[in-house]
Structure 1
């Protein structure tokens, strides 16, 4: 199915924008008490943080979305293609870094949609790879038989022919020993699916082992033409990390794996990718924002006595990557409004040529200021 972005009149992207005026009927209300008919989705890397350092006035910007008593006044969430840790842990980390109370329900990561595959693979053996703790992520979603790719590989001697040359390690070598008895009998139990939960750390090993698993139908050594399903949490080619210049993302790993697999296999690699700019991700975000409005925000809209059932007038996507954040908002269509910051992947003076945003700003603080003025809202702090 092809999705088309609805036509949205372009707001000037120049720095010297005309002031925004409110209609007389839309009198500003302190602390957002007029009700929330808009919501905000923030990208994280390159918008809110660079590495673990807040950027663009993000802590100040987020505090403006809370009331005087610390209650959430504007429904917002973080919509990121990143991940590698459970949403509960990411919410705690963000709360500490940004000095606001962030709930796990406000964190939507690239791998969050993997929950929807639980019914299909809940009791099947699966492998998961990526930075952080990919096996823990999948286990917390409810999958009962999960091995990290590192654990899986440790049960096969010499599966990585260059492992002895790898001097780097994430833990002391004395602690990095293969289990004497595998958790699961990987020599006879078939891997039913593979998940790339976050950016892989050891590309060489992961490409080799994934090719082994996928070419053998999930059982190493078996002559089976069936390829187990392969899922990627996102498909970003590049993203903004702590380093000043763009870094290769999960999409680059997918390209490398696909190239090797297709040149060494009779069949082409089959896979499913999630994350932005997939319109599904934006539709899911809209549902979560509606739930946040109903459960957390002051004075949520009522429609025939049903809290929060009134559709949003506008949903703002604030991101730094035109091909991911802006493209995704455009494909999702109404009521999404895209705002592009110059603090991450995008650094242009003017708007992006291929995926022009509805608004271009210098920072997330400027973006929030624009939104609150446009919605005729006075912030509490």
Structure 2
């Protein structure tokens, strides 16, 4: 198999593809105990002095399933001003997980953690797919994975996307064991209007690219249909030609979910698809992989943190006299993660100014540091990680 780690193809003048920083939405009214730790440009002179920022992994560090772990709510609240609720220390969440739009994920995390999280503070594995918009904006593409992959891609601006669930439904008997499956992957009410194509439209429209947005739900069906698409240049029943581009949001072999031991991730699905495809075709599968531990993900996170901090100091519009703040340089950026092969490896490869902190609440649970990808510091919980950072930076 030939696959590569792919940096974003659309770059800003600084060399990084930046995720848009939306205007902060209204505070959630459904959570009366919600701490309003938000991005604001008030008190600029006293607050625009942070020399460091923090990137948190989510699964195994902040949450296990839907439950906060490691005293994470209290740890996050320490990064906000008590008197105003505004950001005291710039931080974001850097995860290979996904399947939900960043806007919705921010709301979910705000409710779970009791701290106001904005969409600009949520960077998921598939967030980098935005960089492919100019290439595939109007092309017919297929997206698969748990959650709502079609909605994710449409919110990025892709105009002609269909979920693999819907795509497969247009072809009778494409899944030979569908009759034995007791679950229904998708409800009709969730289908987006522009995905309601006619059978003729789908059968004659060539798929220009396939996107694995998150962990697929029906591995057997997805492997079968993807092999059909990729071996026929995107037109089922066509002759074998060069395969359409295939993109993975991440490549985690395992991750920490609600179950006590690690679960197979999107990287395991890639291995399964590769194994099957390469056994039935002469040409090896080609794909492009995004997500941690790719160094460009960490460069992108640094750029986003700079913009978050600039927005916090100056508001949505950066004035010419404040341009030095929009290019603010952090002395240290902390990556707090639970997976040495993903979080720590990525921070090590990214180099300065990244400083890695490994927690024992997820994939990693050993007493000693990881031998191959040792973190700068190993702690038990994310709360201890924040304690260490604030003490080290004399910001407690």
Q: TM-score, normalised by structure 2?
A: 0.83
* Distance apart, 1:296 and its partner CA: 1.4
How far residue 339 of structure 1 moved from its aligned partner, in angstroms, is 0.1
1:318 is paired with a residue of what secondary structure?
A: strand
Query: 2:177 aligns to what?
Result: 162
Cα distance between partner residues in 2 of 1:41 and 1:184: 47
**Structure 1 residue aligned with 2:148:** 133
Contact in 2 for aligned 1:33/1:298 (Cα 8 Å) = no
- Secondary structure of 1:377's counterpart equals coil
Residue by residue, what CA displacement relative to the aligned partner does 1:96-131 show, whole Å, maximum 9, x if unpaired? 000111100000000000000000000000000000
Write the mapping of 1:230-309 to structure 2, written as runs, cut at 5 A. 230-296=246-312, 306-309=324-327
User: Residue 45 of structure 1: CA displacement?
Assistant: 0.1
The answer on 1:343 being equivalent to 2:361 is yes
Provide, for residues 291-343 of structure 1, a one-character-per-residue CA deviation record: whole Å limited to 9, x for no partner: 0111115999x998622433110000000000000000000000000000000
Matched, 1:202 2:218: yes
Note the C-alpha offset of 1:169: 2.4
CA contact (8 A) 2:292 2:342 kept: yes
CA distance in 2, matches of 1:137, 1:362: 34
Query: Which structure is richer in relative contact order (CA contacts within 8 A, separation 6 or more)?
Result: 1
CA distance in 1: counterparts of 2:119 and 2:311, whole angstroms: 14
1:170-249 equivalences in 2 (<5 Å): 170=185, 182=198, 185-249=201-265
- 8 Å contact kept, 2:48–2:309: no
Q: Structure 2 vs 1, CA of residues 103 and 173 (structure 1 numbering), >3 Å: closer, same or farther?
A: closer
Q: Is the 8 A contact 1:303 1:309 kept in 2?
A: no
Question: Is contact 2:203–2:235 with CA below 8 Å preserved after alignment?
Answer: yes
Give the CA deviation at 1:182. Answer: 2.4
Alignment of 1:353 with 2:371, yes or no, is yes
Query: Could you list the per-position Cα deviations for residues 160-184 of structure 1 after superposition, in whole angstroms to 9, with x for gaps in the alignment?
Result: 00000001224679999xx996287
Q: Could you tell me how far 1:187 is from its partner in structure 2? A: 1.2
Aligned-partner SS, 1:85? coil
Name the counterpart of 1:94: 109
CA shift in 2, pair 1:214/1:170, >3 Å = closer
Indicate yes or no: 2:79 matched with 1:65.
yes
Q: Extract unaligned runs of 5+ from structure 2.
A: 6-45
Query: Following the alignment from structure 1 to structure 2, what is the Cα–Cα distance between the partners of residues 180 and 99?
Result: 38
- CA separation in 1, counterparts of 2:99 and 2:350? 26
Q: How many equivalent pairs are there?
A: 347
Does structure 2 conserve the Cα–Cα contact (< 8 Å) formed by 1:73 and 1:298? no
* Distance in 1 (alpha carbons) for counterparts of 2:55 and 2:352: 14
Of 41, 51, 56, the residue aligned with 1:42 is: 56
Q: Kindly indicate whether the alpha-carbon contact (under 8 Å) linking 1:361 and 1:367 is maintained by their aligned counterparts in 2.
A: yes
Give the unaligned 5+ runs of structure 1: 3-31
Q: Give the direction of change, closer, same or farther, for the CA distance of 1:119–1:181 in structure 2 (3 Å limit).
A: closer
| Structure 1: distance between partners of 2:374 and 2:102 | 31
Q: Is the 8 A contact 2:345 2:373 kept in 1?
A: yes
The CA deviation string for residues 44-79 of structure 1, in whole angstroms up to 9 with x for no partner, is 000000000000010000000000210011110000
Note the aligned Cα RMSD (angstroms): 2.5
1:19-51 per-residue CA deviation (whole Å, 9 max, x = no partner) reads xxxxxxxxxxxxx84711100000000000000
CA gap of 1:86–1:184, structure 2 versus 1, over 3 A, is: farther
| Residue-by-residue CA offset, 1:132-182 (whole Å, 9 max, x unaligned) | 000000000000000000100000000000000001224679999xx9962
Structure with higher helix content: 2
Q: Following TM superposition, by how much is the alpha carbon of 1:254 offset from its aligned partner in structure 2, in angstroms?
A: 0.1
TM-score normalized with structure 1 length: 0.87
Q: Select which of 352, 357, 363 maps to 2:381.
A: 363
The answer to whether the Cα contact below 8 Å between 1:190 and 1:219 also exists between their aligned partners in 2 is: yes
Deviations 1:79-100 (A, max 9, x none): 0000001000000000000011
Partner of 2:390: 372
